[in-house]
Amino acid sequence: MNNQYENVAAAEVEEERVVDLRELFSVLLSKALWILLCMAICVAGAIIYTKAFLKPQYRSTAVIYVNDGTMSNTGSVAVATYLAEDYAKTIKLETVLKTSMAELGITNMSHTALASRISVSLEEESRIVVISLTDESPARAQTLCNKICEVSKVRFEQMTDVERVSIYEEATFPAGPSGPSLMTNVILGAMIGLVLPCAVILLIYMIDDRIKTPEDVQRTLKLSTLGNIPFHKD
- pLDDT reported for residue 69: 57
Is residue 162 located within the same domain as residue 101?
yes
Average pLDDT over residues 180-187: 93
Q: Could you give the number of structural domains in the chain?
A: 2
Residue 4 domain flag: no
- pLDDT reported for residue 4: 53
Is residue 77 located within the same domain as residue 33?
no
- pLDDT reported for residue 19: 46
Average pLDDT over residues 167-175: 93
Percent of the chain past pLDDT 90, that is, above it, reads 51
Is residue 109 located within the same domain as residue 143?
yes
- pLDDT reported for residue 77: 64
Average pLDDT, the chain: 84
Residue 46 domain flag: yes
Is residue 123 located within the same domain as residue 104?
yes
In the predicted structure, residue 70 carries a pLDDT above the cut 80: no
- pLDDT reported for residue 68: 62
**Which range has the worst mean pLDDT, 33-47, 64-78, 95-109, 129-143?**
64-78
Residue 226 domain flag: no
Domain CATH for 128: 3.30.70.1130
Domain end position, chosen among 147, 169, 191: 169
- pLDDT reported for residue 13: 46
Q: How far apart are CA 46 and CA 200, in angstroms?
A: 21
Residue 150 domain flag: yes
Average pLDDT over residues 203-210: 82
Q: How far apart are CA 190 and CA 41, in angstroms?
A: 9
Residue 2 domain flag: no
Residue 176 domain flag: no
Domain extent, residue 206, equals 12-52+181-221
- pLDDT reported for residue 10: 53
Closest alpha carbon to 222 in 12, 11, 18, 6:
12
Residue 3 domain flag: no
Residues 54, 105, 149: CA angle, nearest 5 degrees: 80
Q: What are phi and psi of 167, to 5 degrees?
A: -80, 105
| The model's pTM | 0.69
- Distances in Å between the Cα of 90 and the Cα atoms of 76, 83, 103, 114 are 21, 10, 18, 14
In the predicted structure, residue 117 carries a pLDDT above the cut 60: yes
Q: How far apart are CA 133 and CA 93, in angstroms?
A: 15
